[in-house]
């Protein structure tokens, strides 16, 4: 800063003090300007400040210089440490949430089926076999819900759909077992009484086994008539099925034809559309409005369940807690599984069903040879034997169904 430098002050009595200076013919002395710092002794300049520089001391500190206690510079932020702390916090929260969710979900599974009560079981093969059952259970449903879903008022429980899902190294295979399949009821032990019932050679529809002694006899009958070991059992009722569909926001389906059925309540138009829980239940239950009756219905059930599994396994469901938790709550509350089934088994089942819809697996009906003497659907014995052997050895399935 440029500063003014004055000469020595005039003493009293000298020219220029207290009056006008005499003119001596020269140029009056002018103030001198000095760039740089400071003034020498006797310069006569009063800056108006007692101490310190007007504009601060060297180093950018405030008035008074270092040590005056007025301001200290903030240290540079340690970004590496901040990122590390944030990452550790997020990982900890994720682990705690995941563990909590796992135990919450695991506690909601209804492990009511005891497969240890099933007798004379075939030897287990390669891969895993799930028996997936849709029952007409109305448990927990109000009269209004029964009317809305067209469930009827029949007492007891029957199986509306039965499927075997095989998972292994050659992709999943989903096989529908028509409810009207002709089977022989084998010897079995009562699931509640423990009483042994000998085989009598009695033949009946497959769904009658469930009505007679529940899931355990159904598993025993499927194993005895196919020779295939069932590893896990999964069942869902009417109300639970509709709730799951609604929880995921509906499932998109391409309906192959107009469907109107007063028994199931179906009233659907041909083409792509999103089915809610009520519509979906009516769709998978419809058989009287279809030319192939139960065989066509099982195909529709396969298509829908694969589409549902695909919808549940999408990022929009899994990564959205506002959709994931209602879906898990609705689904897990509604499922009845065997005592040895865990969440990872259930997840594997859903992923396998998603694979079927994505073209990574195969879906089919159990091969049918025709009608039996009692009017039920008779399986093609030779094809069923080949199919079961391929599943046991986890080979690519080459058998075709109806």
pLDDT band at 175 (very low <50, low <70, confident <90, very high): very high
β 196-197/188-189 pair status: antiparallel
164, exposed or middle or buried, with CB in 10 Å at 0-12, 13-18, 19+?
A: buried
| pLDDT score of 196 more than 70 | yes
Residue 383's pLDDT is: 96
User: How far, in whole angstroms, is CA 258 from its chain's centroid?
Assistant: 33
Is residue 286 a contact partner of residue 296, using CB atoms and an 8 Å limit?
no
CA angle 249, 251, 256 (to 5 degrees): 150
Residue 144's pLDDT is: 73
List, for residues 93-112, the tens digit of each pLDDT value: 767 666 666 666 677 788 99
Cα–Cα distance measured from residue 255 to residue 271, given in angstroms and rounded to the nearest whole number: 5
What phi-psi label fits residue 152: left (phi over 0), alpha (psi between -120 and 50 degrees) or beta?
left
Long-range contacts of 197-201 (CB under 8 A, 24+ apart): none
List, for residues 336-385, the tens digit of each pLDDT value: 999 999 888 988 998 898 888 777 889 999 999 999 999 899 999 999 99
Backbone angles phi, psi at 173, to 5 degrees: -130, 125
* 92 vs 187 pLDDT, higher one: 187
| Gyration radius of the chain's alpha carbons | 43
Is residue 208 a contact partner of residue 217, using CB atoms and an 8 Å limit?
no
List, for residues 201-254, the tens digit of each pLDDT value: 999 999 999 999 999 999 999 999 999 999 999 998 877 888 889 988 899 999
Mapping DSSP onto H, E and C, the string for 325-340 reads HHHHHHHHHHEEEECC
pTM: 0.72
* Contacts of 117 by beta carbon, 8 Å cutoff, 6+ apart: 189, 191, 194, 216
List, for residues 266-323, the tens digit of each pLDDT value: 999 999 999 999 999 999 989 888 887 878 888 888 889 888 888 877 766 766 666 7
Backbone angles phi, psi at 379, to 5 degrees: -70, 150
| Spatial CA neighbour of 334 closest among 134, 61, 79 | 134
| Spatial CA neighbour of 347 closest among 309, 392, 311 | 309
| Spatial CA neighbour of 223 closest among 212, 233, 236 | 233
How much of the chain exceeds pLDDT 90, in percent?
39
Cα–Cα distance measured from residue 314 to residue 199, given in angstroms and rounded to the nearest whole number: 47
State how far the alpha carbon of 346 is from the alpha carbons of 134, 154, 336, 352, in Å.
16, 30, 11, 10
Average pLDDT, the chain: 80
Is residue 239 a contact partner of residue 281, using CB atoms and an 8 Å limit?
no
How much of the chain exceeds pLDDT 70, in percent?
70
Residue 224's pLDDT is: 98
Residue ranges of the domains in the chain? 1-9+32-55, 75-108, 113-392
Residue 13's pLDDT is: 46
CATH architecture of the domain formed by 113-392: 3-Layer(aba) Sandwich (3.40)
**DSSP-based three-state secondary structure for 100:** helix
Cα–Cα distance measured from residue 402 to residue 393, given in angstroms and rounded to the nearest whole number: 23
């Amino acid at each position: 800063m440029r500063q003014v430098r004055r000469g020595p002050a005039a003493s009293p009595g000298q020219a220029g003090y207290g009056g006008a200076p005499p003119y001596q013919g020269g140029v009056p002395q002018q103030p001198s300007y000095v760039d740089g710092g400071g003034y020498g002794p006797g310069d006569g300049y009063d800056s108006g400040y007692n101490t310190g520089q007007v504009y601060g001391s060297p180093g950018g500190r405030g008035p008074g210089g270092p040590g005056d206690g007025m301001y200290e510079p903030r240290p540079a932020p340690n970004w590496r440490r901040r990122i590390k702390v944030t990452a550790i916090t997020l990982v900890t929260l994720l682990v705690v949430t995941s563990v909590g969710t796992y135990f919450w979900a695991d506690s909601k599974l209804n492990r009511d089926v005891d497969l240890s009560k099933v007798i004379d079981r075939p030897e287990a093969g390669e891969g895993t076999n799930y028996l997936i059952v849709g029952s007409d259970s109305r448990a927990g449903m109000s009269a209004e819900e029964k009317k809305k879903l067209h469930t009827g008022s029949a007492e007891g429980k029957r199986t509306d759909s039965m499927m075997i899902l095989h998972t292994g190294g050659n992709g999943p295979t989903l096989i529908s077992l028509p409810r009207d399949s002709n089977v022989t009821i084998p010897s079995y032990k009562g699931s509640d009484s423990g009483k042994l019932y000998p085989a009598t050679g009695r033949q009946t529809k497959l769904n009658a086994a469930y009505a007679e002694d529940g899931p355990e006899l159904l598993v025993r009958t499927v194993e005895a008539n196919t020779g295939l070991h069932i590893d896990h059992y999964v069942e869902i009722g009417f109300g639970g099925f509709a709730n799951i569909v609604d929880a995921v926001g509906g499932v998109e389906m391409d309906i192959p034809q107009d469907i109107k059925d007063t028994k199931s309540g179906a009233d659907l138009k041909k083409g792509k559309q999103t089915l809610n829980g009520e519509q979906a239940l009516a769709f998978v239950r419809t058989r009287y409005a279809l030319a192939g009756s139960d065989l066509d219905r099982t195909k529709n059930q396969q298509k829908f369940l694969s589409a549902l599994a695909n919808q549940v396994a999408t990022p929009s469901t899994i990564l959205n807690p506002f959709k994931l938790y209602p879906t898990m709550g609705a689904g897990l509350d509604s499922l009845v599984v065997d005592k040895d089934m865990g969440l990872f088994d259930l997840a594997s089942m859903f992923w396998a069903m998603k694979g079927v819809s994505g073209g990574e697996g195969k879906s089919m009906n159990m091969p049918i040879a025709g009608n039996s003497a009692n009017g039920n659907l008779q399986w093609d014995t030779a094809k069923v034997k080949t199919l079961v052997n391929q599943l046991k050895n986890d080979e690519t399935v080459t058998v075709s169904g109806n």
